[in-house]
Amino acid sequence: MEVTLNHYLLIGAVMFVSGVVCMATKRNGIAVLMGVELVLNGANINFVAFARYTNLGLDGQIVSLFVIVLAAAEAAVALAIALNFYNNHQTIDVDQGDRLKG
């Protein structure tokens, strides 16, 4: 069986859906961040697969490099926010962060 573009897109879909479900259902703030990482990686697989299986050149790989850098930046800031949240609320449960609810 030949490995085609479809296989890579399906793996990307599995990672994307796992990340979305993780973001939506987990109550641990760090687990929500892990869901974001999974979503970004699923998108990255699609970018690199399209760069390989089309003749559009290396643009997909360059975009995926930008995504990796932005994901690292996002993780740094989000973890700082999560640690502040933990210091203020003595818990990491995101359901407890409802002080701004009207």
Partner 1 sequence: MTEQTLFFIFAILAGGGAIGVVILQDIVRMAFSLIISLGSTAGLFFLLGADFVAATQLLVYVGGTLVLLIFGVMLTASGPFRRIKMSSGETLLGAAVGLLFFSVLAFTVIGVNWQAVPSHREVATTPSDQSGNTSRAIGLRLVGIPADAEIGLHKGSGSRTGYLLPFEIVSVHLLVVLVGAAYLARAKRHESRDAAEGDA
Contact present, 19 and 38 (Cβ < 8 Å):
yes
Query: Of residues 2-61, which lie at the interface with partner 1 (CB under 8 A)?
Result: 2-11, 13-22, 24-31, 33-35, 37-38, 41-42, 44-45, 48-49, 51-59, 61
d(CA 45, CA 11): 8
Whether residue 15 contacts residue 45, with contact meaning beta carbons closer than 8 Å, is answered with: yes
Query: Tokens standing for 84?
Result: 């502040």
Q: Binding-site residue total for partner 1 (CB under 8 A)?
A: 75
The residue within the footprint of partner 1, chosen from 43, 83, 97, 98 (CB under 8 A), is 83
Closest approach, Cβ 46 to partner 1, in A, equals 10
